[in-house]
Amino acid sequence: DARVTQTPRHKVTEMGQEVTMRCQPILGHNTVFWYRQTMMQGLELLAYFRNRAPLDDSGMPKDRFSAEMPDATLATLKIQPSEPRDSAVYFCASGFGWIYNEQFFGPGTRLTVL
Amino acid sequence: EDQVTQSPEALRLQEGESSSLNCSYTVSGLRGLFWYRQDPGKGPEFLFTLYSAGEEKEKERLKATLTKKESFLHITAPKPEDSATYLCAAQNTGNQFYFGTGTSLTVIP
């Protein structure tokens, strides 16, 4: 049963700490997306990759967030330093082909920054 | 300013009572209009992508349609398992995505 996996599922940290979230896309998928969801802002697209190359990260705060794909089986989203306003659920999704095609979402990482 | 607005915020239907959810968008050049379903505590589930006015797509009891200003998600004879939040998003020619705040659908047996 192919699915997107995300680790950790829950993370509680203190303001100023570095946070790294990891995503393993479905094997064979070549597009990866990072989303953030909060009650106030709803769902937001932070960044997306195709064939490991970043296509767009205009939704991501550049000063503290960074997204990378070290290899085809791993995508990472880092926040340094973290702030309370970063508290949210972060979803990773993967797909094949172009961004208009079906995306498969992971279960999310719930981040709480105290 | 590019934006997406969904209505209603919440909708309660009796099982079998068909209805439609609305997604109004204003974006600078629409590249794609996306619909998702999200169950509580879970990641969204991709439903459809629509590209141009007049296009329609169907999946089980759901049908999505697109005009130049809005998209509708029609739910025919809904069942309790269709209860979820339905999200839409529009992508503009600058590759930016704009999400609506969703419609929370409850189908009562």
The pLDDT tens digits for B20-67 are 999 999 988 899 999 999 999 899 999 999 999 999 999 999 999 999
The answer to whether A107 contacts B42, with C-beta atoms less than 8 Å apart, is: yes
User: What proportion of chain B, given as a percentage, has pLDDT over 90?
Assistant: 85
CA atoms within 13 A on the CB side of A5: 8
For residue B68, count CB atoms less than 10 angstroms from its CB and return exposed for 0-12, middle for 13-18, buried for 19 or more: exposed
- Tens of pLDDT, residue by residue over A12-39, are 999 999 999 999 999 999 899 999 999 8
Say if B85 is an interface residue toward chain A (CB within 8 Å).
no
Those residues whose C-beta lies under 8 Å from the C-beta of residue B35, and which sit 6 or more positions away, are B23, B47, B48, B50, B64, B71, B73, B86, B87, B88
Distance from C-alpha of B81 to C-alpha of B78, rounded to nearest angstrom? 8
Separation in Å, CA of B32 to nearest CA in chain A: 7
